[in-house]
Structure 1
């Protein structure tokens, strides 16, 4: 018999436990941080929910985009406790540099990037008792509107065992998680620009907005900016003064440099933040 399990990200659905119990269904709920040193944060961690075959949540995860962005669907022949024990191996992960961090593998965006970074031969070890892990792949908010698609990850028979522990990530996984982080950062920037500076993106064709956003981020990084705050300041100046504000001779930025010559000696991060501080007080 195949069991269906919902894996919810407690950060994205912060009322998850209350919401589940309010459904009135006799559901088994397993917060994966339970029994770990992060137990006090169990409602913000990954939460595994065993669903009955007639559970309305099965229909909800198939059709509700909001829920699909917060949870994924796992099929298994094993008991839910066995799946929970297997998934708990991914809570704390290391990389090739020896860094240790928490992996938000219940966040569907992270799940998709993370699992897709492995070759298919790795899924037998990676998925363990899971027979299929279904993740809804959503289009980013800066891209043309397209339907959501389901991506199914399945173990491949006769695959070799992974050469490293499941809790260790190689460079491919690190890069995949960086891509997921950049995706989410770009979405936050897009929402902010669309709300505060609607004349910046909305006049562009739908398929050109993502390119404009990515190019501005790349410009900021080429200029030497690395922090999210500084990149956001750069985009704000682009919205106010134009995409070429840093190089155009008659831009307010060049006028500011003439008034504050000492700013030219500052590294890019400090310079853009000093510019922002002056803009806020002027």
Structure 2
């Protein structure tokens, strides 16, 4: 990790020369526009809004496009009440709405070999956090542009990752041909780590729904447990959410020490047989584990 970030429970004070903004992810907050329109009709309530997909190559899906919204405490409270820790991100900047709109649209267009033209969800706080902590300091300044400070909500930690611009909002000059922001290898690895973070988080529901006896007291503890399982699984092949779900099933039905249990040696040998894709091995082992459970242990299964 090249760049320091701080995990804090609250937002910092806004500098007098700057303004605070929220980027609302409408893929998660589908009722955001309705709420903001209601707020804008209130007497004395001034709000600036820009749909970051409007009049771009993503115009056809602009109804779920992220909204750049001037910060209000009421808006933040509503987001935290109805979509806790999963609504988008918060940042501070001295730039205008027009400048910020141009900034966000240029970053959303980021490219990578084999993924040219794909939409980059840099307005996702987990993606932004992993990107900025994986890259070099000068690249952080380029990525943040006119943004002084990011506050990135984390749904596992239930706190904000605070990341400051190392050049204090002085935008580093970038040649025109580099405005597509092609990812470096380090940044690509950071995005891979963000994807794995989401896989772990998404599997919490699977664990708690089907194996409550293995569920931990908190979201964070469940996340750590699943991350340990997936770290173990990665040595046998590429992981996915489906592969992770199978592995949770297997471990929950055979117990945590199954890899070293003599009775399960044939299953372990199947897991390590790289002649088959990992997902196919796990699918077979999942069925074997279920049959073992039915025949040997009186536990609830699905």
What interval of TM-score do these two structures reach, taking the shorter chain for normalisation? 0.7 to 0.9
Q: CA deviation at 1:232?
A: 1.2
Q: Work out whether residues 241 and 252 of structure 1, in 8 Å CA contact, stay in contact via their aligned partners in 2.
A: no
Greater length-normalized contact order (CA 8 Å, ≥ 6 residues apart) = 2
Matched, 1:188 2:188: no
The one of 232, 249, 263 aligned to 1:236: 249
1:126–1:243 CA distance, 2 compared to 1 (3 A): same
For the pair 1:19 / 2:35, whether they are aligned, the reply is yes
User: Is contact 2:107-2:181 (8 Å) kept?
Assistant: yes
Kept in 2: contact 1:90–1:105 (CA 8 A): yes
Closer, same or farther: CA 76–219 of 1 in aligned 2, 3 Å:
closer
Which structure 1 segments of 5+ residues have no match?
Answer: 141-145, 258-262
The residue aligned with 2:131 is 114
Q: Mapping of 1:28-107 within 5 angstroms?
A: 28-51=48-71, 56-57=74-75, 66=83, 68-95=85-112, 97-100=113-116, 101-107=118-124
Aligned pairs, how many? 266
Alignment CA distance shift 1:280-1:30 (3 Å) = farther
Using the alignment, how far apart are the partners of 1:139 and 1:133 within structure 2?
A: 19
SS at match of 2:22: strand
TM-score after normalising by structure 2: 0.72
Give the equivalent residue in structure 1 for 2:8: none
The two structures have a TM-score, normalised by structure 1, of 0.76
Q: Which residue of 2 aligns with 1:170?
A: 184
CA distance in 2, matches of 1:107, 1:99: 18
- Give me the CA root mean square deviation: 3.7
